[in-house]
Structure 1
Amino acid sequence: MEVPGRKESSDDKVKRKCQPCQDENVLREAYGYCKTCGEYLCDACYKYHRRPKPFKDHVLVDYKTIMSKDGAPTPQDSDKHKVSDDQVLQQGENNDKCKTKKSPPPVPMRRRIFNTKCSVHPSEDLKYQCKSHEIIVCSECALKEHRQCDELYNIKDIYDSESKRIVSKIKYVEDKAAYILKQETNANEGDDVSYEEVLSQIRLDREHVNKYFDETEKRLNNEVYSFREGSKIRQTEMLDICQKLKKKKDLISDTNLSKIERYISMTEVECEVDNINRDLKGVFGLPRLRVSYKSQYPLLDSGNLVVEKHQGEIGRRELKLLKRLNIAGGKQSCCITDIATPSNETFPVILVDVPNQRLIIISDEYSLIYHQLEWIPWGITFISYDMPNGEIAITCPFDDRISFLTIGENISVSKRSSITLKCPTGIRYHKSENVMIVIVRENRNASIQCWSLNGDLVRTIVIVTGNYIENINLTNDDQIIFASRSKHCIQSCDMSGNILRYFPYMDDSMQGPFGTAADQNQSVYVCGLRCLRVVSREGKWDELLTRDDGYAPQSLLVSNRSDRLYVGQALEKGRTDFLIFEL
């Protein structure tokens, strides 16, 4: 019953807003309140709030009860808000006036809350991640429903590794967006012939054919304006994505949340990051604008103004195919995982053909010698070479050893004893230190180790955890370069393990990557899935071969003496060619 003369309270003046809707930038008037979540809800959110299983036990209060003195919600209604009864600040109609009142924290103070209880067993905490079913479960669910699952992990055990993985994924997409933004910026600043110079020349000649230049200037302005407007839109999109990704990283590192809350948030963040990554346009082939003009008298038409839109700087380093050599030798297909030449020679070239368990030796006259092995090889390197004889080392990952062979008129087992070590793959000989640099793999981890020719472990150069690398190469100044599949990058380090260069590759079609090689200019060539890229020492990526070229690069080697690029192809039907390009 309304009492005459009663003053209107601040609660009547300031209508509560639905907090879940407000998170989505939608303002709806509150209809009720959830004591368990500590949130005000609109009629739609209130109506459907208890339908999902995780919310079955939540306590809801309608709007009339909220407005009554006895039923007004207090901070004790939810143990998620640790605020004293008499110290919650409620902002009223005037922003500069605050008063003490029992109520949930206002929206700006509210942190994101995740339900850490099992939906099937409400009294049990969520503790395990079943990756087989992609679900987080409690101890009882793990025991009853998931005990036979192959991938069931305690969240505390995998939290650190999963956190690093998702942060790494965010960093990859963040770098990709920043790279596209940089390309857009450079496209506007780096025109071959500046817009202002062309416009000035047009204005100088206008007195001769005024009508012609009016039409020409209008066309030029429209083209440039259209290009720049499109570029601004793309830049704004990339800036928004970078900001959004930064917020996702901040959420994962929020120390106010428990590990289980952060882990649940991480799973949601990962899905959002994957969606962002799918929506990003490719980093190659972004539009560029090139304006040119040549004055000509008499001027008969408007054909002298040329505005060309280029799809990015693709394949600026043109490769010339010198030789396409059929290496099948009676086999249906080949897979060349590694290539070796003596350090100061262009030939011989030795290829490792894994599925056929053989070596293929190519002479300077392009004649072929096949040598069958009794074990499956992977990596190869020259230890010594004094024409026409030499010694090579070959990794045997499936037999856990490194074997040595001599080459000459015949190939035979070296007098040097083989070396036993766990799953060796990539290998290179370091001449100045007289040691071998070897990749040693164990499960998902890998390490780059230094071994003497006598079979002694000299030192571990670098350990790469949660990573998948198979091949390495050496630069002219003995830097070690390798490609990381999980981290989406190319790295180089010195013999002490210090990371010298780090280049994230910005193209999702670069699946792998596989083999790497470096030239005299310290540019690094990288094999992807049916493509070949090169990254300069400044970190700029360019395409050399694409899927349309019809190749499947698997392994690489640069002969700096002859400026040749050797390319071995992957195991695909009909891929029996060894490719030699001129750089």
Structure 2
Amino acid sequence: MATGGASFHKGSDLIHDYSCSTCEENDLNTEAQHFCPQCEHYLCDKCVKLHGGYFKKHVVYGRGDIQKWADFSMDICYQHGNKLEVHCDDHQELCCSVCVALNHRLCSSISHLPDLARGFLETAEFKQLPAVVDKMRSRLDELKNVRTKDQDSLIDSYKNIIAEVKALRKNINTILDQLERKTVEQLDRMMKDLEKSIKDDLETCAQMDHQLKTMIEKLQQITGKNKETSSYIGYIKCQSKLSEATCFVQEIRHNDVMKLKSDESVVPFLRNLKNLGDIEKFQGYKTQSSAQYSVKIKEDNNVCDIECICELPGGEVVIADFANSRVKLLNKKYRVTDHYDFPAGPLHLCHITNNDVAVAFINSEVHFLTLTRGKLQAVRKFTTDHETCSIAHIQSQLFVSSNDAIYLYTIKGTFVKKIYEAYGFGLQASKCAVSTDGERFYVTNMDDSKLITLDKTGQVISTLEDSDLKDPTGLCVSPSGHVFVCWWEPGTVLQVDKEGRQRLATVAGKADGLCKPQSVWFSEQTSTLLVGNLNTDTLTVLKLC
């Protein structure tokens, strides 16, 4: 490669990645070492000195900033800095003369750019380009906002995990403290027992010693005519006491000490732990593609209003169309194949077992439908003493929510108890879902723009709210425990963690065709998210990855 100071006639075979623009005008072939974005000129070492004398305020980039050279001109080759002249049809690439010489000499079809561009300004593709660019810029802005939120969520998740680790450590410390206390209590009891035993033995020794001393002294002091008889009696008593002392001495345990026989499994177990838990990197689902499917039928008198969605084991989809007072059956291609009409609009529904679904109505009724030979048929119903805004099922239990409470019923419709009650303005058209293990309830509170997570006793575990998120509506929990929640504003579906504490991902938004989403279902069979928007005749189907 030639140095910046060496010049050759333009006809030279020497190829530079960037050639000096000024030298080219004088039919010289010189390698450029500098670039001026304001002039859009590439300059060699000699020409840059002249350029600096005329344009002292221009910022010139050297070879150290070569990544900035090619981005300034639309018709310049990003690789070699020369003017783009042809298009390689084999590789679908714009090329300069250097590109052709180095990489495309063997290509079968190379077109001259002026020939390809003739009449292009009048084509629909070119005229639509600004709108396409604007749409993509909007999506990039939305993505930037989402990623900014993800950054905040990442920080929150970090803080939450640190708090969980400290809580776990505190819990372990509490357990160890309890084990220590119980062990010390056991030691204290044993110490007290042994101390009492030794004290009793010492007292017994002293008493026997004193008795034996006294007895032998008195025996030796016997005199008089009955000395022999009295001595015999003293002998017998002394022998008895000696026998008692002998037994006592033989029964006494010597060297009473205590030893700790530790649980040998504890320390190795703790040593074998690599950490207090594995940190999982979780990236939530994101939309790969989206499509719209019409769910309107000729019998509909109003614009459809998809209040709820659920899937049957065979892959069929059931939707509640509130505006037209009917439940509709969709096949795997999301075409309406059957419907069942009601006097009032269904607000919510859920899958029960097999091909059965339960449907909730605001008029305090719960109806059961079943799919038989491709047709929806009514089975039975029961009535409640409260409004029925939402319904969920797990383990033969029905959880029915009103505007201000959640109630537990048996599958046959027998009232069991009230699980949760909201105060103040209530939950306002709440929707509820239950985790697959029945341990958690998720409730959307439109009045306060919150997602509330409860344990199975109705105690609040967590609340999720964000100043940018308003009016949470529909939600669903997949068989694997993924939780998805619709928010009217800004028109998104979020994936949240199982505890309902934080968002994991913004799965879809306005750019994916959502507008006030109010019902959602995730099909794990096909990794597809189904979304019903407010007052629209179409079902949004999102392929996730």
Q: What TM bracket, shorter-length normalisation?
A: 0.3 to 0.5
Return the TM-score normalized by structure 2.
0.45
Q: Which has the larger radius of gyration?
A: 2
More helix by share: 2
TM-score norm. by structure 1 comes to 0.42
